[in-house]
Amino acid sequence: MIGSTRRLAVYAYGQPCDMRKSFDALCGLVTQALGRDFLSGDVFLFVGRDRKRAKALFWDGTGLCLYAKRLEKGRFAPLWRRESGAQPLELTVSELALFLEGSEMVGRAPLSPEPYKLVPLFQAQTVQGVTS
């Protein structure tokens, strides 16, 4: 599986994809359809029309990697949306792992919590009329 100690973003292509596409054709989809840089280190996910096959395109820092998986039973979750012009679906690495295992819930509901954001517990406030 794709291993990294940094937070990766996973972007799913919003339409069924021809699984015969190669590195260059998928890079073209990433650039033109998703509006992303395929050399960013993010993972780009593509699913075939019959949802039996999926590919993940990933730049590991030294070259492009293309991971492919074919399910023997069941189907991958459909990662495309019906409304045209929709933003690409963004997944976490945990959701990607669930997707590749064949989970049907990926893409339907958020399966991972939002990233934790640090906020200060106490903010310096000035209170009028109070002297310290």
Determine the average pLDDT of the residues in 45-64: 91
pLDDT of residue 108: 61
Going by pLDDT thresholds of 50, 70 and 90, the confidence category of residue 119 is confident
pLDDT of residue 115: 64
Determine the average pLDDT of the residues in 86-92: 75
In what order do the strands lie in the sheet containing 89-91? Answer: 64-70, 53-59, 43-47, 10-12, 89-91
Determine the average pLDDT of the residues in 30-50: 90
More confident residue, 95 or 111: 95
Three-state DSSP class for residue 94: helix
Going by pLDDT thresholds of 50, 70 and 90, the confidence category of residue 1 is very low
Position of tokens 């590749």?
100
